[in-house]
Structure 1
Amino acid sequence: MKTFLTFIFVFGLIVLIHEFGHFILAKRGGILVREFSIGMGPKLFYHRHNGTTYTVRLLPVGGYVRMAGEGEDETDLSPGMPLSLELNDQGEVIKINPTKKVHLPNSIPVELISCDLVDELYIKGYENGDETKEKTYPVNHDATIIEEDGIETQIAPRDVQFQSASLSRRIMTNFAGPLNNFLLAIILFMIVAFMSGGTYTSDPSNTIGAVIENGAAHEVGVKPGDKIISVNEVKTPSYEDIVKNVSSNLGNSVPVVVENDKGEQRSLTLTPKKSDDDPNRGVIGVQMNTIFEPLSFMGKIKYGFTETANNSLMIFKALGDLITGFSLNKLGGPVMIFKMSESVSNSGIIAILSFTAMLSVNLGIMNLIPLPGLDGGKLALNAVEGVRGKPLSQEKEVMITMVGVVILVGLMVAVTWNDIHRFFIQ
């Protein structure tokens, strides 16, 4: 349960903050946000305020923002469909109900002939199904429509659609999600610094900071403060050298030379075990030595920015490594996040906040990759529009986005299956 709650907190927070960035910039730019959802899947309840329907859904993982003009916005209304219409005192349609799941009191039943809810804003139909009573109803600009799942959302006239906003507004709205992830990381790293009173700086030397119980190193008597001089007869002057030589020897007995704090050396033999994070990698159950550095008030503020920058550089380095040698094992999805949540959930709130900040930076950068379907892909299309002086046709944008979505979904499925296989099947 602790792992599950940690996963929900971490994954939910970074996605919600990301979507809130899109939400707030869209609202400020005059773009209609039809729905802001907390969670995914079937709705539990909803509330409408200021043109936006706020929903809480069953699966408490992340959320999304549905802006007018992006994707399929409207419930499909076709000729012959029975509707019930609610009118205001001026005779304008203020609520459209095409579903039988919801009953509107004091509404007018209409058999639809034609309608336009984008430009001309009208509904033409036979009142009470009587073909001798054809009538055209003006539709209020802020009218709502009840969707198939019973949620009431606002219609999307042309002037409040995403594509009607200026190019600069659309760029800011697309960039706001990743920006919010960076801001979240900065704030969380600051909180970590204030909670701990300072920061722990990693010691890159071969001095061991901690030895994990029941790990390979613990079983042969390695203690915190010991130095690992060599692994498999290869000198290891840094912690990175230790990791490199151990990881490639999963399941193999390797000779190790260890030196204690008195300078006494001893030769040991240990067998690297399977890593929890990557079953193809060997580990001996040691952790890097860290040095605590107290920070001033301004130092703690600065730490939020510097640690976010350091994590960004690490992610860019990992992306470069992925390009030069692609492997699904270098990627991770929700399953990997769940497994990592299992580790940090037992390490206290500071570890959880640091983990959340790191993942927030990761999500921000990954979303800026210029692939269709990601925010970076949308920004790339914005750049093309800026150069051309006009946007691509809607058909081309939809086609490009669909190709990107298919690629992303395929990659997500492959990564998820690979994570399930290496963590639960092997």
Structure 2
Amino acid sequence: MEILNEAVSLVGYVPPFLFVLTIVVFFHELGHFLVGRACGVGVVTFSIGFGPELFGWNDRHGTRWRVSLIPLGGYVKFVGDEGAASTPDRDGLAALSPADRDRAFQTKSVGRRAAIVAAGPIANFILAVVIFSGLFMVSGRVDLVAKVGDVTADGVAAEAGIRAGDLIVAIDGHPIETFMDVMRLVSERAGEKTDFVVERDGARIETSLTPRLVEEKSRFGVQRRGLVGIRASNDPADRRLRRFSPPEAVVEGAKETWFVVARTASYLGGIFTGRESIDQLGGPLRVAQISGEVAGMGIAALINLAAVLSVSIGLLNLFPVPMLDGGHLVFYAAEAVRGRPLSDRAQDIGFRIGMALILMLMLVSSWNDIAHLASLRRGG
């Protein structure tokens, strides 16, 4: 019965997961599509999902818009592409009519090809800015003044002389406006000496401390972050609802997008340096579970998750791995420097390496998902 209940629970995660994934994938591929069209490239297919077509239609330019059976991704196929992976069909390219050759992706300049490839991740970042900005305009944001309400007796903040009632005004030279700023800066500085400036009785006091690395388990996985042992003030006077005009909301949306970019890049970079653990890397199962949990918090929370996921997918696609957009950009950069494309053999080797890396990433993330779900079942 317990296994049946868990299965039903997982099935319930599917609709919000597909909602989030479809939004993110659609805008990523739409970026490729729009810039490709603007550069004069013919688009054969715009597909949400892979595999057999469930339904679709043709637009006036001859593009087949389709929804496919396997809803885990999507693709845009340009004239001259061999398949969904956008690899060039060299034999097919030679057989094209002169008019179609002129519309083929591979016959465009290296600058135009690079712009088309980069447009996908850029569209993901734009989508995130739009979502965050819209949420800020509609709901505003509750800000907590960066005032210390409580200090843990044996925490590093107490050892550094920080007291309840202190107003934190700067951390490592970064001006502090809200307590959320404090949490974000501290969380990514575990084990690093960090300079604090606090205001007490009208005077500014400088001190240094080193946040402690802590691991916190939740239904979303193990979270590793730095803590210093302080809590925000719970005085209602230190809590305010901030409303944003459209220009202000766009600025805040861009800041929020940049924060997610920086945090994601920091984590991925930390994996390679050994500072972060790869067991936090999640795959489709983890995203589905998080989507289901967040959906219970309301549509705004689910849309916010779509923005975060959009940033993550955009950034991941920019990694210089063949098969990803970033790998294609590396090939195009080499072509621009050399004045001619890399040899077919070099590109084929690169794509094989890229495929191996992606498969390894999928295996690791899927293993982490299974281990996480097993941990939840055990209650730990």
**TM-score by shorter chain over 0.5:** yes
Is the strand fraction higher in 1 or 2? 1
Please state how far the C-alpha of 1:331 moved relative to its aligned partner.
1.4
Q: Residue 190 of structure 1 is aligned with which of 119, 130, 133?
A: 133
Letter in 1 for 2:271: L
Query: Secondary structure of the equivalent of 2:221?
Result: coil
CA distance in 2, matches of 1:344, 1:63: 24
Aligned to 2:262: 313
| Residue-by-residue CA offset, 1:242-271 (whole Å, 9 max, x unaligned) | 989xxxxxxxxxxxxxxxxxxxxxxxxxxx
| 1:56-75 equivalence runs, <5 A | 56-72=67-83
Aligned to 1:349: 299
Q: Residue 47 of structure 1 is aligned with which of 35, 42, 57?
A: 57
Please state how far the C-alpha of 1:54 moved relative to its aligned partner.
1.8
Letter in 1 for 2:268: L
Unpaired runs of 5+ residues, structure 2, are: 1-10, 85-90, 163-181, 189-214, 226-230, 234-238
| 1:404-415 equivalence runs, <5 A | 404-415=354-365
CA distance in 2, matches of 1:418, 1:380: 30
Query: Secondary structure of the equivalent of 1:30?
Result: coil
Please state how far the C-alpha of 1:233 moved relative to its aligned partner.
9.6
CA distance in 2, matches of 1:5, 1:56: 16
Query: Secondary structure of the equivalent of 1:395?
Result: helix
- Structure 1 window deviating more from structure 2 (382-391 vs 36-45): it is 36-45
CA distance in 2, matches of 1:18, 1:36: 11
Please state how far the C-alpha of 1:62 moved relative to its aligned partner.
3.2
CA distance in 1, matches of 2:266, 2:293: 24
Query: Secondary structure of the equivalent of 1:392?
Result: coil
Aligned to 2:45: 35
Aligned to 2:290: 340
- Is contact 1:195–1:350 with CA below 8 Å preserved after alignment? no
- Is contact 1:46–1:55 with CA below 8 Å preserved after alignment? yes
1:387 to 1:33, Cα distance in 2 relative to 1, 3 A: same
| Residue-by-residue CA offset, 1:276-327 (whole Å, 9 max, x unaligned) | 1225879xxxx98875322234322322222212222222222332222153
Aligned to 2:32: 22
1:205 to 1:58, Cα distance in 2 relative to 1, 3 A: farther
Please state how far the C-alpha of 1:53 moved relative to its aligned partner.
1.9
1:288 to 1:67, Cα distance in 2 relative to 1, 3 A: farther
| 1:156-195 equivalence runs, <5 A | 158-195=101-138
Aligned length: 306
Unpaired runs of 5+ residues, structure 1, are: 74-115, 122-139, 143-156, 208-226, 245-271
- Is contact 1:206–1:229 with CA below 8 Å preserved after alignment? no
- Is contact 2:136–2:243 with CA below 8 Å preserved after alignment? no
Letter in 1 for 2:267: A
Larger Rg: 1
CA distance in 2, matches of 1:69, 1:163: 7
RMSD between aligned residues: 3.6
| 1:339-418 equivalence runs, <5 A | 339-418=289-368
Q: Per chain length, whose mean CA-contact separation is higher, i.e. which structure has more relative contact order (CA < 8 Å, sep 6+)?
A: 2
Aligned to 1:229: 152
Q: Residue 6 of structure 1 is aligned with which of 6, 16, 34?
A: 16
CA distance in 2, matches of 1:414, 1:344: 24
Please state how far the C-alpha of 1:203 moved relative to its aligned partner.
6.2
- Is contact 1:279–1:423 with CA below 8 Å preserved after alignment? no
Please state how far the C-alpha of 1:31 moved relative to its aligned partner.
2.3
- Is contact 2:17–2:287 with CA below 8 Å preserved after alignment? yes
CA distance in 1, matches of 2:57, 2:268: 41
Aligned to 2:244: 295
Is the helix fraction higher in 1 or 2? 2
- Is contact 1:26–1:32 with CA below 8 Å preserved after alignment? yes
- Structure 1 window deviating more from structure 2 (14-23 vs 328-337): it is 328-337
CA distance in 1, matches of 2:308, 2:223: 23
1:201 to 1:389, Cα distance in 2 relative to 1, 3 A: farther
1:353 to 1:46, Cα distance in 2 relative to 1, 3 A: closer
1:3 to 1:316, Cα distance in 2 relative to 1, 3 A: same
TM-score normalised to the size of structure 1? 0.62
Query: Secondary structure of the equivalent of 1:64?
Result: strand
1:202 to 1:343, Cα distance in 2 relative to 1, 3 A: farther
- Is contact 2:221–2:280 with CA below 8 Å preserved after alignment? no
- Structure 1 window deviating more from structure 2 (183-192 vs 354-363): it is 354-363
CA distance in 2, matches of 1:332, 1:184: 22
CA distance in 1, matches of 2:57, 2:184: 53
CA distance in 1, matches of 2:279, 2:144: 25
Query: Secondary structure of the equivalent of 1:34?
Result: strand
- Structure 1 window deviating more from structure 2 (295-304 vs 8-17): it is 295-304
Aligned to 2:172: none
- Is contact 2:118–2:329 with CA below 8 Å preserved after alignment? yes
